[in-house]
Chains A and B, each alone.
Chain A
């Protein structure tokens, strides 16, 4: 921290800080209104019976139900599955984009971003047209004789995963691409001049230097996918039921706001836990990198 000796300058700096802070007031107000208040309301609701009396019964009911835990497992399977595929597909893609000539990279980037401009509902139903039994993909497969029977591509876990990866891939790609683009090209050249193979360069130079981007992308993918509703509801065929569809069922079939609120809080805790885990892992890796640097 810098210490300003002149009292006038110090007062000036204080005023400036206050002014900058006041600029954020509208945003803080909106966040408070749109995020914090509803969460407080949900927490309160989770302790109320349908008659409006205080109870912990909602928690007992939700936490003792096997349905909650199977929904939790499905949620994690979907999130981790999406994340794994995003890393496997997105990282090489980001590498290709980062190493392409700027003009080509911009063009490719436009294609990557294109799906982001389309509503998720439209995209999800679009997949239905492609993946269903007499859809384009199955028609091509059976028509060309590659498969005798149409493949079960949708109304199951596979279809849900396809839809979710399609939605998340651009969002994963952006931070990874940004990190890779910022890598000093001289480092890559240096590693090549020292006799490293391309594989070694990727493993020892590029990936460690873009780890921060991969981490940010992973957090985005995980936090988003934990709450996914439309995609499993449309492409899951009723067989893929994560926590979000459990909440919907609890509300629409049972009108049980208390239990639905508990499920919502469960989602919130899950997100916080995952966030903390990612941050801890990031610090661990960053620490190790510094350690090896010294050795």
Chain B
């Protein structure tokens, strides 16, 4: 019977072989966004590299990252973060430096470049409104959003200082280029907080998740919602009575990073490089309206002309925008959030 044993062993070995393919774990935000990243980015990249990629989904990447790294039980190799969170994580030394020998260092504009978290897509925090309430004459600037006499209606804002304080200053007449220099002074921050306090009686809901903001807009629970362009676009596409403008949007980027002590560091770097190729980040816009950070993604007709209008970083939309400054948030985030929370509690 020994031949049987041998052939069984051989069978077992051959069955075990595919396991030797590199196994990489990626952590995303899940939902529509997570699916879009899988379809457009890491799915095809994994196939090309021959990797076996596992996906974990989490809505709060930074808290999870911190828990994994400080407890030493690191299960993820690549993690998807917002750039401010990425900068925060880097400052707390939770991330491996990016290997720019594997990842092309010239694939992102110098202003967006990070040593720790590779920015791959961008979104705008925009002004959206209910088209049933305002018809042909909606508020289209932040100053008008604050004008409750001319544009009565229920507002919904994010229950977070991020983007809200930038927008508050824009509504108060601060030029996009000056927002962070004004915010860096104590009086500037106070000015932003005061401005938010002024609109507070007209805020029906302070939302805490992007999905919630879309729901508020779709249901007409709020007439004016500050939300992310991808969410507003989805509501509009699904036939909701909603529209939005990129005028004065705050542009943020999302990025990919490797946790400190990740099990498959080198494979993780290779996966980041492969999944962010221009064609793949351009393809992401097939699923969700978050445009590439890599300028090459906008070239060669990778993104159809009519879709460019729906992307925050498309050349025609970026003019009046403010680029969210991740470094400012790392330095001042806690103080700003505290001031914001105190305003909410008053």
B345 and A67: CB pair below 8 A?
yes
Collect the chain A residues with CB atoms within 8 Å of residue B131's CB. none
B63 and A50: CB pair below 8 A?
no
B60 and A252: CB pair below 8 A?
yes
Collect the chain B residues with CB atoms within 8 Å of residue A50's CB. 92
In the complex, B208 has a CB within 8 A of chain A = yes
Partner of A238, one of B63, B88, B208, B334: B208
Contacting chain A: which of B29-37, B185-193, B244-252, B336-344?
B336-344
In the complex, A70 has a CB within 8 A of chain B = yes
Collect the chain B residues with CB atoms within 8 Å of residue A133's CB. 219-221
Q: A239-B344, A252-B63, A255-B63 are in contact. Are A134 and B220 (CB under 8 A)?
A: yes
B324 to chain A, nearest CB (A): 15
Collect the chain A residues with CB atoms within 8 Å of residue B344's CB. 238-239, 241
Collect the chain B residues with CB atoms within 8 Å of residue A233's CB. 208
A66 and B63: CB pair below 8 A?
no
A249 to B334, CA, bound (A): 11
In the complex, B302 has a CB within 8 A of chain A = no
Q: In residues 204-241 of chain A, which contact B (Cβ within 8 Å)?
A: 233, 237-239, 241
- Nearest residue (CB) in B for A68 is B345
A249 and B62: CB pair below 8 A?
no
B206 and A253: CB pair below 8 A?
no
A63 to chain B, nearest CB (A): 15
Q: How many residues of B contact A (CB 8 A)?
A: 23
- Nearest residue (CB) in B for A51 is B92
In the complex, A155 has a CB within 8 A of chain B = yes
Collect the chain A residues with CB atoms within 8 Å of residue B341's CB. 67, 249
In the complex, B204 has a CB within 8 A of chain A = yes
A67 and B342: CB pair below 8 A?
yes
Collect the chain A residues with CB atoms within 8 Å of residue B207's CB. 237-238
In the complex, A251 has a CB within 8 A of chain B = yes
- Nearest residue (CB) in A for B222 is A133
A204 to B92, CA, bound (A): 65
B208 and A155: CB pair below 8 A?
no
Partner of A67, one of B60, B66, B338: B338
B345 and A241: CB pair below 8 A?
yes
Most B CB within 10 A of own CB, among A134, A237, A239, A253: A253
A71 to B344, CA, bound (A): 11
A132 and B334: CB pair below 8 A?
no
A67 to B341, CA, bound (A): 7
Collect the chain A residues with CB atoms within 8 Å of residue B204's CB. 152, 155, 237
B320 to chain A, nearest CB (A): 28
A positions within 8 Å CB-CB of B: 50, 65-67, 70-71, 132-134, 152, 155, 233, 237-239, 241, 249, 251-255
